[in-house]
């Protein structure tokens, strides 16, 4: 008797009870699938919206781009990165839409050689440009006679007149931007 009260066999489930469990699994699977698809579509439409926004801000076809650069002892950078990056940019923008102004200021390394190579590549692409390779170094500018030391120079506590770096760089920048004054650019 005690054994009868402790152990009661469970009634066997029939197919009738398996159907709701299968239906529950299918509904759950459908809900998970729908959530994933909704998330995926939402991301897709967000990307489309961002692309459309970018196109709204795209440069008009009539726009011209002026690129100016100043180089001093930059041979390594020019050969490893700069020249290829400029050529890629020119190809992407269109050689007929770009004007390049390159000013080199008395480098001690072979910066002039690297710029000459870039100039030849730009010539092959038909890019309008102005390339200035100056033999005047910063030291040459410092060695000018005192009577010619006007704007951009400062009197130091030691009684010397020294060329200030910012006005010197501003003068180089202005020389590289000189082609902007020409009417065809």
Residue range(s) defining the domain that contains residue 169: 65-181
- Spatial contact of 105 and 70, defined as CB atoms under 8 Å apart: yes
Question: In terms of domains, do 85 and 173 share one?
Answer: yes
As a whole number of angstroms, the distance between CA 116 and CA 110 comes to 10
For residues 52 and 98, membership in a common domain is answered with no
How many structural domains are present in the chain? 2
Q: Are residues 124 and 152 in the same domain?
A: yes
Note whether 29 and 46 are same-domain residues: yes
Average pLDDT over residues 96-116: 92
Q: What is the pLDDT of residues 111-148, one digit of tens each?
A: 999 999 999 999 999 999 999 998 876 666 666 665 55
Same domain, 87 and 164: yes
70 in the same domain as 34: no
Task: Out of 30, 56, 82, pick the residue that ends a domain.
Answer: 56
- For residues 129 and 174, membership in a common domain is answered with yes
* Whether residues 133 and 52 fall in one domain: no
> 181, 169, 137: which is closest to 70 by C-alpha?
169
- Is the pTM above the cut of 0.75? no
Question: CB-hemisphere CA count at 13 Å for 122?
Answer: 24
Give the span between the Cα atoms of 81 and 60, in whole angstroms: 28
Q: Which of 18-22, 28-32, 101-105 has the highest mean pLDDT?
A: 101-105
Task: Read off the pLDDT of residues 68-96 as tens digits, 9 standing for 90 and up.
Answer: 999 989 999 999 999 999 999 999 999 99
């Amino acid at each position: 008797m005690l054994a009868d009260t402790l152990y009661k066999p469970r009634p066997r489930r029939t197919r009738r009870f398996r159907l709701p469990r299968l239906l529950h699994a299918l509904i759950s699977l459908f809900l998970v699938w729908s959530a994933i698809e909704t998330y995926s579509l939402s991301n897709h439409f967000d990307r489309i919206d961002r692309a459309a926004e970018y196109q709204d801000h795209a440069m008009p076809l009539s726009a011209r781009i002026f690129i100016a650069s100043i180089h001093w002892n930059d041979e390594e950078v020019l050969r490893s990165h700069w020249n290829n990056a400029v050529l890629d940019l020119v190809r992407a923008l269109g050689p007929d839409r770009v004007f390049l102004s390159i000013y080199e200021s008395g480098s001690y390394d072979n910066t002039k050689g690297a710029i000459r190579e870039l100039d030849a590549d730009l010539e092959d692409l038909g890019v309008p440009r102005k390339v200035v390779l100056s033999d005047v170094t910063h030291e040459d500018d410092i060695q000018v006679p005192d009577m010619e030391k006007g704007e951009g120079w400062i009197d130091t506590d030691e009684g010397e007149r020294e060329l200030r770096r910012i006005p010197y760089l501003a003068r180089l920048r202005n020389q590289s931007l000189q082609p902007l004054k020409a009417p065809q650019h």
